[in-house]
Structures are given as C-alpha cells and as structure tokens.
C-alpha cells in the first residue's frame, strides 16, 4: 500500500502543541501538507498555525482533549469542514507520571490512561471510519515502553503496552475487511522533548529520560515517511531496539536492572513543577527539553528501517566493491609472483 505524496495530503496531528507532535507539524508543513492541529493548549496551537500560514502553509487548529470522544469527533468534523476530509491521522498526545505505583493517586492513574490509551482509541476509530471511504493512514505513537516495563513510569508503560495491543488488533480487523487503511505503530526510544518537565512527578528529584536520547525530528521523519510508505511498526532509536532484544533474550536479567533504571530517571536537582501538565495544560510550545546528557543527532538503525531496499543495495554495493578490490589485488599479486618466478628461472 502506498498513499498520496505529503504535498497532496491533509494530516491531523493530536498533541501538536509540543514535543514530537509539534516537530511533526512543522516538518509536515515544510513538505507541503495541509494540517489540522489539535491539543489542549489552544493559545499555543493558534501561534503555531499562524506561523505555518505566515510561511506559506495551510493549517487550522482545534482545542481538544483527546480523552473526550466528543472532542475527537470535533477534530474530524473541522478537518472535513476546512479541507473536505483528511488522509492521515497521527495520534501523538500523551503524558507520563514518575513515581512508584503504590504512591500514585487513582485520579492520576485514570487521567494518564484517559489521555494515552483512550485518546489513541478515540482518534484511531474516528480516523478509520473516515478513511474507509477514501483510504489513508492511521499512525499511533507508542514507545519503546510498548515492549519494555519501566519502574517509576509504570502507568506510562501500561498505557503504551495497551496502545500496541489496540493498534495491532485494529490493523488486523482492517485487513480482514479489505479496508484501504494502513496502521502503523511508531515506537520511539528516549526522545529529547519536554515530556519529563510536563510530567506529574512523585519523586524527590527532577525527572529525566534514560539514555540514549534522540532528537524529536527523527520521530517526525519516521511518522511522515509512513504517511506515504506504510510500515507495520518502526523503532526510532537503535538503542531502544537493542534494549527490547536484550529483554526478550534475558527477561530476568532485565528485571534486575530496576535499581539502575530508576536511578537513570532522576536528575540531581529537586523537582521544578511536580504537578506537571497531567490535569491542566501548561509549558507547551517547545519541541525539545533540556536533558543533562548528550542527544544523538540521528539514528542509523531507524534510517535503515525506513529505507530497507536502499540500505540493502548499499550493503550489496559495498560487498561487491570489496570483493572486486580483493579480487584485483589477488590477481595483481599472482602476476607479480609469476613475473618474479620467471625472472629467477632466467
């Protein structure tokens, strides 16, 4: 399955006011897509849409809480009213909570699941209903936590595991009915976004992300690639893929890393804003956070995943060139040995 070029698409992006969602919106606008931007921070979205329009793009914004089905329905209705429909729907909206499971309140548990899981469910089902008629893509942003547990981010990992199960089921049902809709799960590793700063925090330290950390533009690029060239799922960040492979190979050993994983999620300084944006939107408008460690500029693994044929051809080319060089060197060495032997006989 292949979809329209980005320059001919209308793309809906939830969680578009910060982090991966904002990076994806800006990149999609530069590539010519028309955009429907949704998040709780309407004032931020208005500025983002204005900037896109000032640069010659087309974008509208919708203030919405994806945990409310009626809000998600309103996103679709406004996309249809403004552009006649949409071609790709990207579910990015999500937050996290740092702290041990036993200390987190029921209200915080419920709010996180409402946003991360139910927001994805509402968006996916609303999008699929529309796209059944015209074809297109549903792209859900999961996480490496879709395959790994993270102590002190237990509910986040729970929600992302559930997003994976839901996404896989939706894909299979659409295949069974022959619907022209692709469903992709994007699984980023740690990404340099404001997620830790906007998290609800029960710890005695400011939260952080475990290394390695990658740029949000790597995720945005993967999302937009699959909007045209669908793939089943994509890891963004080779480090995340390695962790998942290690956990599958030795799950008990991974469990024993719990103290180290907890320590890696704590910075040296005390909490800045422990309430975060879980219940009330705040601190939106930024693509990147302020991690205390180095951020990887690119992921060679992810780029290879997005372009497997080109990567394979490149590898074959390297092998062929190496074989040709080795063969030429062998032939030249053999000729030298023959000339040397002939000279000795004279």
Please classify residue 252 by burial: count the beta carbons closer than 10 Å to its beta carbon, then call 0-12 exposed, 13-18 middle and 19+ buried: exposed
- For 76, residues 6+ apart whose C-beta sits below 8 A from its C-beta are 12, 86, 126, 127, 130
Other CB atoms within 10 A of residue 245 CB: 11
- Is residue 159 within 8 A of residue 150, CB to CB? The reply is no
| Candidate list 98, 156, 202, 214, residue with the active-site label | 156
SS (H, E, C) 256-322: CCHHHHHHHCECCCCCCCCCCCCCCCCCCCCCCCCCCCCEECCCHHHHHHHCHHHHHHHHHHHHHHH
Q: Helices 69-83 and 119-134 meet at what angle, rounded to 10?
A: 30
Please classify residue 253 by burial: count the beta carbons closer than 10 Å to its beta carbon, then call 0-12 exposed, 13-18 middle and 19+ buried: exposed
Say how far apart CA 234 and CA 241 lie, in whole Å: 10
Which residues, in sequence order, are bridge partners of residue 265? none
**156 part of the active site:** yes
List residues with catalytic annotation: 156
């Amino acid at each position: 399955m292949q979809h329209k070029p980005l320059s001919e698409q209308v793309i809906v992006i939830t969680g578009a006011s910060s982090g991966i969602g904002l990076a994806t919106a800006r990149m999609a606008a530069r590539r010519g897509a028309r955009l429907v931007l949704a998040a709780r921070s309407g004032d931020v979205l208005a500025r983002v849409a204005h900037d896109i329009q000032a640069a010659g793009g087309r974008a509208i914004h919708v203030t919405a809480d994806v945990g409310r089905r009626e809000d998600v329905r309103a996103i679709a209705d406004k996309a249809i009213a403004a552009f006649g429909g949409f071609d790709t729907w990207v579910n990015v909206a999500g937050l996290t909570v740092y702290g041990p499971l036993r200390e987190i309140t029921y209200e915080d548990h419920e709010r996180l699941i409402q946003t991360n899981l139910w927001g994805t469910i509402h968006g996916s089902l609303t999008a699929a209903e529309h796209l059944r008629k015209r074809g297109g893509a549903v792209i859900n942003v999961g996480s490496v936590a879709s395959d790994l547990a993270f102590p002190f981010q237990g509910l986040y990992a729970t929600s992302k595991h559930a997003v994976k199960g839901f996404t896989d089921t939706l894909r299979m049902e659409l295949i069974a009915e022959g619907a022209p809709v692709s469903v992709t799960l994007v699984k980023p590793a740690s990404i340099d976004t404001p997620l830790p700063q906007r998290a609800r925090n029960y710890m005695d330290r400011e939260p952080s992300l475990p290394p390695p950390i990658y740029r949000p533009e790597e995720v945005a690029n993967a999302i937009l690639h699959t909007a045209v060239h669908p793939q089943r799922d994509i890891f963004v960040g080779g480090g995340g893929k390695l962790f998942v492979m290690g956990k599958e190979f030795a799950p008990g050993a991974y469990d024993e890393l719990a103290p180290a994983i907890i320590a890696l999620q704590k910075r040296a300084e005390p909490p800045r804003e422990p309430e975060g944006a879980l219940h009330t939107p705040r601190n939106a408008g930024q693509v990147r956070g302020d991690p205390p460690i180095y951020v990887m500029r690119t992921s060679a693994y992810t780029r290879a995943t997005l372009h497997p044929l080109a990567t394979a051809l490149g590898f074959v080319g390297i092998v062929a060139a190496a074989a040709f060089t080795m063969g030429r060197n062998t032939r030249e060495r053999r000729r030298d040995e023959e000339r040397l032997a002939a000279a000795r006989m004279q």
